[in-house]
Structure 1
Amino acid sequence: MNYLFYKRVIDFCLSIFVLGITWPFFLLISIVIKIDSKGPVLFKQERIGKNKEKFYILKFRTMKTCTPNDMPTHLLKDPNAFITRSGRLLRKTSLDELPQLINIVKGDMSFVGPRPALWNQYDLISERDKYKANDIFPGLTGLAQVNGRDELPIDAKAKLDGEYTRNCSLILDIKCLIKTFTSVLKAEGVVEGKIEKKIKGEKKTSSY
């Protein structure tokens, strides 16, 4: 059988297991968020899933309720003005992503795959189409995340997503998960706010 079939079974069983051992963290983080700022514990946002079907991704809320909802954090002029005190730690350690285990159980996501794009990130979605990277489940982490994350331009990110789509295997998934763990410990590739690069003497703003 195709590995993608077994991948779904592994994703479901592993996410149930991880949820079972991390529920105390869910409880503790929820209490901290409620004490720290007004608003819900969980943040829902419309994203693009397998075959470009939309779903709502779940995260622990790390930003104030007045934050623009459908705008990537890196496009905010001053994201630090919106991030809560507890949110800084959650984002730095990637603990805000824990609720996506629920998305994996539901069948919206996988542990490893292209990170789900916002519904209005048309440039990224279009670029991924070239490599059929929209044809598989998006992931909690992925090949692009362990090779630059927020620092990558759209074309490079889409190419890595395409490489993962072509070479998807258990060994590659394990490598991505291990590298994700080490990257999180080092807080590598995390960028808050707009990224501007000079190309041929002109400033170019990356949006992904």
Structure 2
Amino acid sequence: MLNEVESSAATPRPPLIGTPRLRCAGSRAKRMLDIVLSAVLLIVFLPLMLVIGLAVALSSTGPVVFRQTRVGLGERPFTMLKFRTMHHNTSVGLVDLLQADGHQLALRTKPRHDPRITAAGRFLRKGSLDELPQLVNVLRGDMSLVGPRPCEHVEHTTLSPEDRVKRVSVKPGMTGLWQVSGRSTITAEKAIQLDLRYVDDWRLRLDLLILLRTLPAVLRTRHAW
């Protein structure tokens, strides 16, 4: 289904949402979809989230929910929520870990075998279950169900001024083109290109296509770590 999106992005075309009135109407529809779906999903997944919270608490010491500042709409910072998947106050940093493993340091680099991740955390990451608390971020308006990846400030500052403005012109999302295009296997550069493509090609139909493709992408756990 996303082949249509990818082929259309390769050829220049006029904006899909042309007039300010239509852009505003599209934004309202997107926000309504976010509110309704995130509320429903929170109710549906609440029992599972309680079980996950208990598993995280029993598997290792530390807070159940991990909070981290990310760059949001209009470069406004917000606190993103996730279930904790790493050992609390680990002494091994990502830079040290990558260098010890012979990797070149790159933004968004994720080592496949990260000793900082707990046993429960590894399972949660496989199915993206650690991201369920972000439904709260969506419900309160920090994020959208679909959008660019919520990046950290250090990654955001590496972009060109034009790309920075474009990337934060919409809310970051729980899922997006990056999620349905390879998850952990895509490079940082490719992920940024997908984020920018999403902004250029946005329409409500694209959000619905991505949402439909997210579950199969999550179930293909070979692309996640």
Shorter-chain TM-score: what band?
A: 0.7 to 0.9
Show the counterpart of 1:185.
219
- Is residue 148–residue 173 contact of structure 2 (8 Å, CA) maintained in 1? yes
Q: Name the larger-Rg structure.
A: 2
Relative to structure 1, the CA distance from residue 94 to residue 127 in structure 2 (aligned partners, 3 Å threshold; closer, same or farther) is farther
- Report the Cα offset of residue 131 of structure 1: 7.4
1:41 aligned partner, one-letter code: V
Instruction: Please state whether the residue corresponding to 2:168 is helix, strand or coil.
Output: coil
Show the counterpart of 2:195.
161
- Report the Cα offset of residue 153 of structure 1: 2.7
1:88 aligns with 2:111: no
Q: Percent identity?
A: 38
- Report the Cα offset of residue 68 of structure 1: 7.1
Instruction: Please state whether the residue corresponding to 1:34 is helix, strand or coil.
Output: helix
CA distance in structure 2 between the partners assigned to 1:38 and 1:173 by the alignment: 38
1:142 aligns with 2:142: no
1:18 aligns with 2:41: yes
1:50 aligns with 2:73: yes
CA distance in structure 1 between the partners assigned to 2:188 and 2:41 by the alignment: 31
Show the counterpart of 2:16.
none
Show the counterpart of 2:88.
65
- Report the Cα offset of residue 122 of structure 1: 3.8
Relative to structure 1, the CA distance from residue 163 to residue 92 in structure 2 (aligned partners, 3 Å threshold; closer, same or farther) is same
CA distance in structure 2 between the partners assigned to 1:40 and 1:168 by the alignment: 37
Match of 1:116 among 115, 131, 150: 150
Relative to structure 1, the CA distance from residue 36 to residue 52 in structure 2 (aligned partners, 3 Å threshold; closer, same or farther) is same
CA distance in structure 1 between the partners assigned to 2:86 and 2:131 by the alignment: 13
Instruction: Please state whether the residue corresponding to 1:121 is helix, strand or coil.
Output: helix
- Report the Cα offset of residue 77 of structure 1: 6.6
Task: Deviation per CA, 1:87-116: give whole Å up to 9, x if none.
Answer: 111000100000000000110000000010
Relative to structure 1, the CA distance from residue 25 to residue 174 in structure 2 (aligned partners, 3 Å threshold; closer, same or farther) is same
More strand by share: 1
Gaps (5+ residues) in structure 1? 193-208
Gaps (5+ residues) in structure 2? 1-21, 99-107
Instruction: Please state whether the residue corresponding to 1:44 is helix, strand or coil.
Output: strand
TM-score in terms of structure 2 length: 0.76
Instruction: Please state whether the residue corresponding to 1:132 is helix, strand or coil.
Output: helix
TM-score in terms of structure 1 length: 0.82
CA distance in structure 1 between the partners assigned to 2:64 and 2:54 by the alignment: 8
Relative to structure 1, the CA distance from residue 145 to residue 163 in structure 2 (aligned partners, 3 Å threshold; closer, same or farther) is same
More helix by share: 2
CA distance in structure 2 between the partners assigned to 1:53 and 1:131 by the alignment: 12
1:113 aligned partner, one-letter code: G
